[in-house]
Amino acid sequence: MIKDKILNFSEINKFVKDNKNKKVTLCHGVFDLLHIGHIKHFEESKKLGDILVVSLTKDEFVNKGPNRPVFNTQQRAEFISRIDVVDYVLINDYETSEKIIRFLKPKIYSKGLDYKDNKKDITNNIEIEINAIESVKGKIHYTKSAKIDASNILDQFNLIYSKEQKKFINKVRVNFDNRMLKVFEKEAREKKILVIGELIIDSYIMCDPLGKSGKGSFLTFKRGKEHKFVGGSGFVANQLGNFSNKVDLLAIMSSSNKDERFVKNNINKNVKLKVIKDKNFSTIVKTRYIEQVDFTKVVGIYDLGNTLIKESLEKKIINFLSKNKKKYDLVIVSDFGHGLITKKISKAIKDMKAFKASNAQVNSANKGERNLKKFSNFDCTVINSSELLHESGSIPDFREYYANTTKYNNDFLRLSKKLKKEIKTKTLVVTSGKSGSLLLNTKNQKIFCPAFAKNKLDKIGAGDSFFAIISLCKSCNLNEINSIFLASLAAAYTVEKFGNDKPINLNETKKILSHILI
């Protein structure tokens, strides 16, 4: 018999074998804040069978918005295991309960009364769960205990958001545009989008530290599993593909069929690759070695290949842009600073009849250049605070700035307004990581949005998610407060996930909003 009350997923087969003659009832959820509604739900569920198993959604799969869950997986499991009517707690290794149901084969799958109207489940997971329980010859049961919203309780006691975050959420409530979700469901779905920029393959190699080498003054690591993702403009396209059915990615690639196969196998189904191959061009590969206990990045090795494209390749790109001058509604330019977007290519983009958004980044390949001048007269420009300072031509003493918040904020705003005027962009957005983001609209009015990520796991891709979502929102004419808020939620969602292969989608956005805008 299994002795421990908290089960791991690997113990399911043994549990089923040990309890084959017992009637098992399964409850499933996050249970971030246990309250009387949960207790009554468990008590009623226990009466339906011989054994009550409660399965828990792991932290990485909790999509209730930033700063959630408040209590981590182990804390939630230990708390529930101390409730007398609960026989076992099972930690789920998957995003939904479908596989638990199929492996555990419970006779009863017990859900709360609020799930009885399946249409209210915006994720549609309840339909999947019903199919799963019926496939193992079990039944779904809805308990009668009234719903008590844990998110509401956590919000009332200020356990989720900071004072600054809560203040902004209240602004969102006041300025909430009822068109917002309808726009994403209809207008954004049909919007024809082109993404152009450096396609990057991100490689994460997990490793364990072994210590200092006995034959030299360097650290040694044991190499572990490698994870590869489509990054750069590919990730931007993947993010947009979760909201639009018509995304084209202009992918400039090497002649390697291996690279093309990898990208095709890892691109969103709504994204069509428009591949231009060139024998002199190298696909950018960024390899990072990750210490796998706490996901600390140990070292990065970048294969950048040729940083300047040849004239023949430049002509192919310009020819594509010229031929498709009127095809797109939104053109997204992700310039990672490795030499792909030349002045001539930028000019060809400007000539296109579409809403145009750009994001230009500073790195070792383009340091010292005023990179944003290429993207003057764009509809929306998104940059990081480091790019703002770089474009201003001055690198301030950050210690002095952070010691004087008022001076920092005033100078930051002054530099932003100056840059906006110089590059003649209609909307300028400057992101500052954990410090939040600043938006200057067409009237030069400022809107500041705090950052919403708390459980930061991997920052890579967060800025790209922000850029993709705010560009889409602005092209759909959503108001600035909702636009920057949705973009910030997308960034928070990305930063709390390992790797950049699962950007936020519409259902997850709806679910998060349902928990935040209560």
Res. 395: pLDDT tops 90: no
From 63-67, 309-313, 378-382, the region with the lowest mean pLDDT? 63-67
Which residue in 128, 70, 141, 68 sits closest to 100, CA to CA? 128
Confidence of residue 199 (pLDDT cuts 50, 70, 90): very high
Res. 393: pLDDT tops 60: yes
Confidence of residue 120 (pLDDT cuts 50, 70, 90): low
Res. 399: pLDDT tops 60: no
Q: In this predicted structure, what is the pLDDT of residue 125?
A: 78
Contact 176, 194 (CB under 8 A): no
Peptide bond into 69 cis (omega under 30): yes
Q: What is the pLDDT of residues 16-32, one digit of tens each?
A: 888 889 999 999 999 98
Beta strands at 108-111 and 88-91: parallel, antiparallel or unpaired: unpaired
Bridge partners, 204 (sequence order): 227, 288
User: CA 324 to CA 320: how far, in whole Å?
Assistant: 6
Q: What is the pLDDT of residues 400-449, one digit of tens each?
A: 444 455 555 777 888 899 999 999 999 999 998 888 899 999 999 999 99
Task: State how far the alpha carbon of 318 is from the alpha carbons of 195, 276, 400, 406, in Å.
Answer: 14, 11, 45, 45
User: CA 273 to CA 267: how far, in whole Å?
Assistant: 9
Q: What is the pLDDT of residues 213-256, one digit of tens each?
A: 877 788 888 999 999 999 999 999 999 999 999 999 999 988 87
Residue of 453 and 52 predicted with greater confidence:
52
What is the arithmetic mean of pLDDT over 175-181? 70
Q: What is the pLDDT of residues 275-284, one digit of tens each?
A: 998 888 888 8
Confidence of residue 159 (pLDDT cuts 50, 70, 90): low
Looking at CATH, the fold of the domain delimited by 6-156 is given as: Rossmann fold (3.40.50)
From 168-182, 298-312, 390-404, the region with the lowest mean pLDDT? 390-404
Q: In this predicted structure, what is the pLDDT of residue 210?
A: 85
From 24-33, 59-68, 462-471, the region with the lowest mean pLDDT? 59-68
Res. 87: pLDDT tops 90: yes
Strand order in the sheet with 284-291: 219-232, 199-212, 284-291, 296-303
**What is the token pair recorded at 57?**
């959604």
Residue of 65 and 57 predicted with greater confidence:
57
Residue of 466 and 34 predicted with greater confidence:
466
Where along the chain do its domains lie?
A: 6-156, 179-516
User: CA 369 to CA 376: how far, in whole Å?
Assistant: 15
Res. 156: pLDDT tops 90: no
Res. 323: pLDDT tops 90: yes
Q: In this predicted structure, what is the pLDDT of residue 459?
A: 79
Average predicted confidence (pLDDT) for the chain: 85
Strand order in the sheet with 271-277: 271-277, 246-253, 192-197, 330-335, 355-360, 380-384, 427-431, 437-440, 446-449
Confidence of residue 212 (pLDDT cuts 50, 70, 90): confident
User: CA 21 to CA 393: how far, in whole Å?
Assistant: 75
User: CA 79 to CA 90: how far, in whole Å?
Assistant: 13
Q: In this predicted structure, what is the pLDDT of residue 132?
A: 92
From 41-45, 126-130, 346-350, the region with the lowest mean pLDDT? 126-130
What is the arithmetic mean of pLDDT over 389-404? 55
What is the arithmetic mean of pLDDT over 185-207? 92
Residue percentage of the chain with pLDDT more than 90: 43
Res. 84: pLDDT tops 50: yes
Residue of 67 and 61 predicted with greater confidence:
61
Q: Burial letters for 228-252: b for 16+ Cβ neighbours within 10 Å, e otherwise?
A: bbbbbbbbbbbbbbbbbebbbbbbb
What is the arithmetic mean of pLDDT over 32-54? 90
Q: In this predicted structure, what is the pLDDT of residue 1?
A: 42
Q: In this predicted structure, what is the pLDDT of residue 402?
A: 43
Q: What is the pLDDT of residues 98-112, one digit of tens each?
A: 999 999 999 999 998
Confidence of residue 157 (pLDDT cuts 50, 70, 90): very low
Helices and strands, number each (H, E), in the chain: 19, 19
User: CA 234 to CA 198: how far, in whole Å?
Assistant: 8
Assign domain 179-516 to a CATH class. alpha beta
From 103-107, 341-345, 367-371, 401-405, the region with the lowest mean pLDDT? 401-405
User: CA 345 to CA 301: how far, in whole Å?
Assistant: 28
